[in-house]
Amino acid sequence: MKHLTSLLDLSPEDLFAILDQAAELKTLFKRGERPQLFPGRVLVQLFEKPSLRTRNSFEAAMIHLGGSGIFLTTAEAGLNGRESLADIAKVVSSFSDLITMRTFSQKLIEDVAKYSSCPVINGLSDERHPCQALTDLMTIRESLGELRGKHIVFVGDGNNVSMSLAIATAMTGMKMTLAAPQGFEFTQEFTTLLTDRYPDHQVTVCTEPFEAVRNADVVYTDVWASMGQEDDAERRKAAFSGFQVNAKLMATAPDTALFMHDLPAKRGLEVTDDVMDGPQSLVFPQAENRMHLAKGLFVWLLNQAAVRA
Ligand code: CP
Ligand code: NVA
C-alpha cells in the first residue's frame, strides 16, 4: 500500500508521474471536463489544525472526480485519546478509499498509515507538507518548463514547507538556498536525512537574503510563525525582520524571478502587498494548483492500490 506521509515515500519517477497526471487532469478541467473516475469513492479528512486550501482542494478534487468527502476534527475523529490510533485507522480505512491528515506530529500520520487499509496522505504536519511541495513543482514547471537546474531561494523559516521543498528539489535536480536567521535553519537531523537519501542534493543554507536571491529563478517565502508557534510569534517577528520579501529584495533578484508563497500569508510581515499582488507573483495560480495536484495524487495512489488488490 502506497502512502504519502513525506516526499521520501516517493521515487523521483513516482513524483513525475503524479505531476504529469495532475497536469493532464488540469487540462481536462480547463476544457470543462471532469472525468468521473471515482464514483462512490470516499475521502475521509482528519484535521487537527485549520485549513482553507488543503481541506477544500482535497474535497473539491474528490467531488470533481465523482466521489465525496467526510471531514473530521480532532475530537470527532477521537484523536484526543478517545481510542487508540490503530483502532481509529482500522475503522476509518474500512469504509473509506483515501485518508488525508493535518496534524502537529508527523509520527501520528505515519502511525495511521501503518494501520490503514487505504492510502494515507499528509496534508501538513509540523515537519512536512508534501502536497504543497508537489504543487509548487507543478506550478514552477508550468512557468519555467524543465525543473532540473532551476534555483529556488526560500527566504524564511526552516519549517515544514521549506523542508518538503528541499526534498522536492533534491528529487528533481533543482537547487535550493534557504536564507534564514541563525537558529531558524534546517535541523541537523533533517540535513543528515536529506543527504543520506540524496547525497548529490544542491540544498544550501545562508543568513544573507540579498546575496541569496541574486541568481534566483524563484523567490519563496512562508509565515514566520507556523500553526502551533503562535506563542513564539513576537520573538520570531524580531528575528526575521531583515528577511521580508519586499520590492527592494525582489529588485536584487533577476527581473525574471518568480515569487511564490504557499499561503496563508501575513501581509506586511514576511511579504509586502506589492510583491504578493505584483507581476512576478504566482501565489494564486499556485493555490489553485493545490486542487489539480490533489487529483493527480488521488489518481496515482488509487491506481497503485488497485494494481495491488
Ligand atoms: N497552503 C496551505 O496548506 O494552506 P491551508 O493551510 O489553507 O491548507
Ligand atoms: N508553515 C505554515 C504552513 C501553512 C500552510 C504552517 O505550518 O502554519
Best CA proximity match to 258, nearest among 178, 177, 150: 150
Q: How far apart are CA 54 and CA 242, in angstroms?
A: 30
Residue 151 placed within a domain:
yes
Residue 2 placed within a domain:
no
Contact yes or no for 153/261 (Cβ under 8 A)? no
Residue 296 placed within a domain:
yes
Q: Are residues 229 and 137 in the same domain?
A: yes
Q: Are residues 168 and 251 in the same domain?
A: yes
Q: Are residues 302 and 267 in the same domain?
A: no
Cell of 179: 536564507
Q: For 88-116, give one letter per residue: b (16+ CB within 10 A) or e.
A: bbeebbeebbbbbbbbeebebbbbbbebb
Residue 39 placed within a domain:
yes
Q: What is the pLDDT of residue 304?
A: 85
Q: Could you write out the DSSP letters of every residue in 195-214?
A: HHH-TT-EEEEES-HHHHGG
3 state SS of 172: helix
Q: Are residues 41 and 120 in the same domain?
A: yes
Q: Are residues 257 and 138 in the same domain?
A: yes
Residue 293 placed within a domain:
yes
Q: Are residues 18 and 154 in the same domain?
A: no
Q: Are residues 56 and 67 in the same domain?
A: yes
- Quote the ligand 1 centre to 52 CA distance (angstroms): 6
Residue 113 placed within a domain:
yes
Q: How far apart are CA 182 and CA 191, in angstroms?
A: 15
List the domain range (segments joined by +) for residue 101.
7-129+287-308
262 Cβ inside 6 Å of ligand 1: yes
Radius of gyration of the chain (CA): 19
124 Cβ inside 6 Å of ligand 1: yes
3 state SS of 261: strand
Q: How far apart are CA 149 and CA 174, in angstroms?
A: 5
Q: Are residues 140 and 267 in the same domain?
A: yes
Best CA proximity match to 99, nearest among 58, 53, 153, 48: 58
Q: Are residues 116 and 165 in the same domain?
A: no
Residue 1 placed within a domain:
no
Where residue 15 sits, what CATH number does that domain have?
3.40.50.1370
Residue indicated by cell numbers 472526480: 65
Atom of ligand 1 nearest to the CA of 227: 6
Q: What is the pLDDT of residue 143?
A: 98
Cell of 295: 487529483
Q: What is the pLDDT of residue 305?
A: 78
Q: Which of 54, 102, 226, 270 to mutate to test the pocket of ligand 1 (most atoms within 8 A of CB)?
A: 54
Q: Are residues 124 and 137 in the same domain?
A: no
Q: Are residues 124 and 140 in the same domain?
A: no
Q: What residues does 45 pair with on adjacent strands?
A: 71, 100
Number of domains in the chain: 2
List of the chain residues with pLDDT < 70: 307-309
133 Cβ inside 6 Å of ligand 2: no
3 state SS of 125: coil
Handedness of CA 99, 26, 171, 263 (dihedral sign): negative
Residue 225 placed within a domain:
yes
pTM above 0.95, yes or no: yes
Q: How far apart are CA 136 and CA 164, in angstroms?
A: 10
Q: Are residues 135 and 258 in the same domain?
A: yes
* Distance, first Cα to last Cα, the chain: 9
